Amino acid sequence: QQQVKQSPQSLIVQKGGISIINCAYENTAFDYFPWYQQFPGKGPALLIAIRPDVSEKKEGRFTISFNKSAKQFSLHIMDSQPGDSATYFCAASIDTGNQFYFGTGTSLTVIP
Amino acid sequence: DTGVSQDPRHKITKRGQNVTFRCDPISEHNRLYWYRQTLGQGPEFLTYFQNEAQLEKSRLLSDRFSAERPKGSFSTLEIQRTEQGDSAMYLCASSFSTGQYGYTFGSGTRLTVV
């Protein structure tokens, strides 16, 4: 049973465009929602994370939007660049130091 | 400290053989995690340690899998009697016990069982 559902599976965006990746969860005990970026041959790297007490968090070109009532959260990448081409994973955990439940990933390609 | 280090990067083994992977976490981190990632999927939790104590194990960690973290420093993950279904990327991560700042993952060990 997939604890965190992620869509789309793949995404192609023009340079300068906005990339949007969505995730949904069922377990209301989750209280920490990070996004990870993974390049081929590398481990995932933490990009940005949010707690459910805020509806939005922005760091540079990356924004997480969080809808607690809908149990959904999304990653927005503004002004997408070819260097952003990677696989993105959403995740959720109960508290920050415990196991993460990852989504299935979104392969993002930014076309120059 | 250059991050989480995993060794080897790649391992090809014949079915039925035993393999062992090593992970060296960031020295200040007292938690260490093992995840498994198959092609096209997100990482799946296997187990984690706080210092030398193994605090949680996933049902994915069958009897053929064993992990240790002697002295609370590096960790090893051993797979006995490997099966083709064990082929995956094995990722190690470390963090502070509070999880503050999230995990730092290593680059993984890719296991291929032939």
pLDDT in tens, chain B (114 residues): 579 999 999 999 999 999 999 999 999 899 999 999 998 899 999 999 999 999 989 988 889 999 999 988 999 999 999 999 999 999 999 998 766 667 899 999 999 999
8 Å CB contact of A105 and B99: no
Please give the pLDDT value at position B101.
67
8 Å CB contact of B91 and A97: no
Tokens 């196991």 correspond to what residue? A99
8 Å CB contact of A99 and B101: no
Provide the H-helix boundaries in chain B: none
Please give the pLDDT value at position B19.
98
Chain B residues inside the 8 Å CB shell of A104: 40-42
Q: In angstroms, what CA-CA distances link B29 with A11, A95, B32, B74, B104? A: 35, 17, 8, 11, 10
Chain A residues inside the 8 Å CB shell of B98: 96-97
Please give the pLDDT value at position B1.
52
8 Å CB contact of B99 and A93: yes
Cα-trace Rg, chain A: 13
Is residue B39 classed exposed, middle or buried when 0-12, 13-18 and 19+ CB atoms within 10 A define those classes?
exposed
- What pLDDT tens digit does each residue of chain A (112 aa) get? 679 999 999 999 999 999 999 999 999 999 999 999 999 989 999 999 999 899 999 999 999 999 999 999 999 999 999 999 999 999 999 876 678 999 999 999 999 9
From the centroid of its chain, how far is CA A14?
19
Tokens found for residue B73: 């420093």
- Angle, CA of A35, A36 and A40, to the nearest 5°: 155
Question: Which one of A46, A97, A104 has the shortest CB-CB distance to B42?
Answer: A104
CA distance A103 to chain B (A): 6
